[in-house]
Structure 1
Amino acid sequence: MKKNMKVIVSIITLVVIAAIFAFNQYDKKGVYSTTNYYLDTVNEISVINVRKSKADKILPGADKVVLDINNAMSSHLPSSEVSKINDNAGISPVKVSNDTFKVIQKSIAYSKLTNGKFDIAIGPLTSMWNIGNDKARVPEKSEIDKALPLINSDNIILNSKNTTVYLKEKGMKLDLGGIAKGYCADKVAEYLKENGVDNAIVNLGGNIYVMGKNEVKKDFVVGIQNPLQKSSDSMASVKLSNKSIVTSGIYERFLEKDGKIYHHMLDPDTGYPFDNELSSVTIFSDKSVDGDALSTSIYGLGLENGMKKVKSMDGIDAVFITKDNKVYITDGIRKDFKILDDKYTLVN
């Protein structure tokens, strides 16, 4: 199947489709891709400047990496390890795979780093709001108040010797939606490198990791989505190589009721969507798992505190876009950052 894929500019976008599928595709420029629908989103993995025989051999394995993580970490699958953990909350520990254990361990560390703005124990809230699904609704305040005490990653008990996970309180639920795609992108990149692929794009529903160079042996130019547009238009671009880029924005998934918009990024402290001056935050990092966990939590911290947090971390850069179209960036990406839409103003 042919597809006119622009490899030089990879646009961050969220595509919604209703089927699980995987197929290989070939582009005249020498780009081979596989597309699937796991982790509740469309994923595309592209290898660049390799032989077709090698791509045909490698790409099915890349699909399997994504499928395995989906099957272990999706809270929507009754058979997943996360669902088993949730089903046994307050009852007994559950033995899990090394991948799931590592993700939960990393998540707890990020909860401490962000003062609880990132907390995978947020499951009781996300399942209640259900934003992005047909049954999305605005919960009653009494329901939210009842769920809030359950959101506490300190009550996630890990046993590294037995690789077990135990939720201390009945009613607790884990939701790895804010970190699983990032971990998966890193695993796919690792798999590709182990199989001799030097240049690739891993795009897991907008969690993008670019490896090496594009088909003309230059850095990739990755677009940052325009928060004012529902399409994949970019408001800025950044040149990147061997980097992850993850965006969280109020335009991605939302619920509208009585003229009010409720976006999908929920504050573990209030039970309602984060409410601040930002429309989106984009995180650049060496590891996508870091960018995934940070994008939402840094958004939750707001512009001033979020910028301070990013500047205090090695190897992390960010783009902040405010609701009045002002753009703030960190120094590490300054020379490679370019605004494409004159509605936006670079402030710092």
Structure 2
Amino acid sequence: MKQQKYIRYILLPTTLLCLIASLFCGCSANSGKISKTGFYFDTMITVTLYGTRDEKILDDCFSLAGNYEKKLSNTITDSEVSKINEANGQFVTVSSDTLSLIKDGIRYGKISDGTFDITIGTLSDLWNFSEIAETAKSDENEVDASVVPSPEKIEAALAHVNYKNIEIKGNQVRLKDPQAKIDLGGIAKGFIADEMRSFLNKKGITSGVISLGGNVLTLGKKADHSSYTIGIQKPFSETGTSLGTLNVSDASVVSSGIYERYYRVNGKLYHHILDTLTGYPVENHLYQVTIISDISMDGDALSTTCFSLGLKKGMQLVEQTDGVEAIFVSDDGTITCSSGINRDDSIQFHAS
């Protein structure tokens, strides 16, 4: 039977917070507080620590993020992942970190029966959501129809999406399909957050928040021994408008949704979460999935996986997984919580 570990998490109505915001009431001035922001993996990272004023710890924390980006990014030409992608099917020796994350990606490929697939790189490159969606913001996200890939190109790219084409021998990795491309974007941010937490714990830091875009990881409890309050961003609303809050301690909160990177063509919305069966953006009447978990990498992978699986199958996966809870937001305004979350009946959500 699934452990009800997150029964203490209560959704409350609020319009003051977004997922990357936290409340830190009760932290005394003399306890120390430092914060730093940087940009890695196309994501703004902010780390806030309590109980220390040692700036070097923050600097070392961000150096860690930079080192992992150089290994794991598929957009940096000399990264270990890029070397695998460009090796024309030959083995490439990689670090234990890269190897571990690739193995985790394969594991989630198996768990999801290919719904989550780290060899999606050829397909995601074809859609190019990061660049097009950013440009579209200046034109109310409406773009020319020419940006949508042709069915022929999508079919061709989809043929190279199959995590089973990854072969591992010791610390060597290769793609049996030379045209396949590994993209660890679906789990790398969570992995980096977990590694940052491990580093900070070794330095004796037990209170703080690590934020990587839609990924939030809290360290222990606040300085006054209370839980952190994390707001969940309301889809398609101004940043800072939330549909509710979660009270968490020493936990990860990760959201994936269609409002993060998208554009419209003739009124139809195209978003960045791609269906590994069709090659097109997932269409299943969901706006967003938020995962609460102990390990941020698991939350990262599961938020995408559960969104892609849809409400019924996604919730089944969550309920079968210990230490994990979820909140599903449907396009009709319905909010569905897993069994370990206490939901306040007064919460309101209005679909755009």
TM range (shorter): 0.7 to 0.9
- For residues 232-251 of structure 1, the aligned pairs below 5 Å read 232-251=240-259
Of 127, 136, 140, the match for 2:150 = 140
Of 337, 348, 351, the match for 1:342 = 348
Query: RMSD value over aligned CA atoms?
Result: 2.0
TM-score by length of 2: 0.86
Q: Deviations over 1:266-302 (max 9, x none)?
A: 0111100010011000011100010001101100111
Q: Deviations over 1:147-202 (max 9, x none)?
A: 1121000010011x2x1110001211011110000000000000000000011101
Question: Structure 1 stretches (4+) deviating beyond 3 angstroms?
Answer: 27-30, 337-341
| Pair 1:96–1:240, CA change in 2 (3 A) | same
| Whole-angstrom CA distance in 2 between matches of 1:149 and 1:88 | 19
Of 301, 309, 314, the match for 1:293 = 301
Aligned to 1:102: 100
Please say which of residues 28-37 and 55-64 is displaced more in the overlay: 28-37
Equivalent position SS for 2:197: helix
| Pair 1:304–1:227, CA change in 2 (3 A) | same
2:18 partner amino acid: I
Aligned to 1:4: none
Aligned to 1:258: 266
Please say which of residues 133-142 and 147-156 is displaced more in the overlay: 133-142
Q: Deviations over 1:289-318 (max 9, x none)?
A: 100011011001111111111101111100
Aligned to 1:153: 163
1:323 partner amino acid: D
Aligned pair count reads 317
Aligned to 1:112: 110
Equivalent position SS for 2:313: helix
- For residues 163-312 of structure 1, the aligned pairs below 5 Å read 163-312=171-320
Mapped pair 1:38 → 2:40 = yes
| Whole-angstrom CA distance in 2 between matches of 1:187 and 1:216 | 25
| Whole-angstrom CA distance in 1 between matches of 2:20 and 2:129 | 18
Q: 1:342 offset after TM fit, Å?
A: 2.6
TM-score by length of 1: 0.87
Aligned to 2:18: 11
The alignment-based identity, stated in percent, is: 38
Q: 1:205 offset after TM fit, Å?
A: 1.4
| Whole-angstrom CA distance in 2 between matches of 1:269 and 1:244 | 29
The answer on whether the counterparts of 1:125 and 1:144 sit within 8 Å (CA) in structure 2 is: yes
The answer on whether the counterparts of 1:227 and 1:279 sit within 8 Å (CA) in structure 2 is: yes
The answer on whether the counterparts of 2:165 and 2:177 sit within 8 Å (CA) in structure 1 is: yes
Q: Deviations over 1:202-240 (max 9, x none)?
A: 101121100111243210011111013032211111100
| Whole-angstrom CA distance in 1 between matches of 2:318 and 2:71 | 30
Q: Deviations over 1:79-116 (max 9, x none)?
A: 111111100132x1111111111000000000010111
1:179 partner amino acid: I
Q: 1:339 offset after TM fit, Å?
A: 7.5
| Whole-angstrom CA distance in 2 between matches of 1:226 and 1:201 | 21
Q: 1:264 offset after TM fit, Å?
A: 0.4
| Pair 1:230–1:10, CA change in 2 (3 A) | closer
Aligned to 1:82: 81
Aligned to 1:23: none
Please say which of residues 247-256 and 212-221 is displaced more in the overlay: 212-221
| Whole-angstrom CA distance in 1 between matches of 2:132 and 2:162 | 28
Q: 1:30 offset after TM fit, Å?
A: 3.4
Equivalent position SS for 1:191: helix
| Whole-angstrom CA distance in 1 between matches of 2:289 and 2:122 | 25
The answer on whether the counterparts of 2:20 and 2:211 sit within 8 Å (CA) in structure 1 is: no
Of 323, 329, 343, the match for 2:331 = 323
| Pair 1:13–1:254, CA change in 2 (3 A) | farther
Equivalent position SS for 2:328: strand
| Whole-angstrom CA distance in 2 between matches of 1:258 and 1:134 | 15
Higher relative contact order (CA 8 A, sep 6+): 2
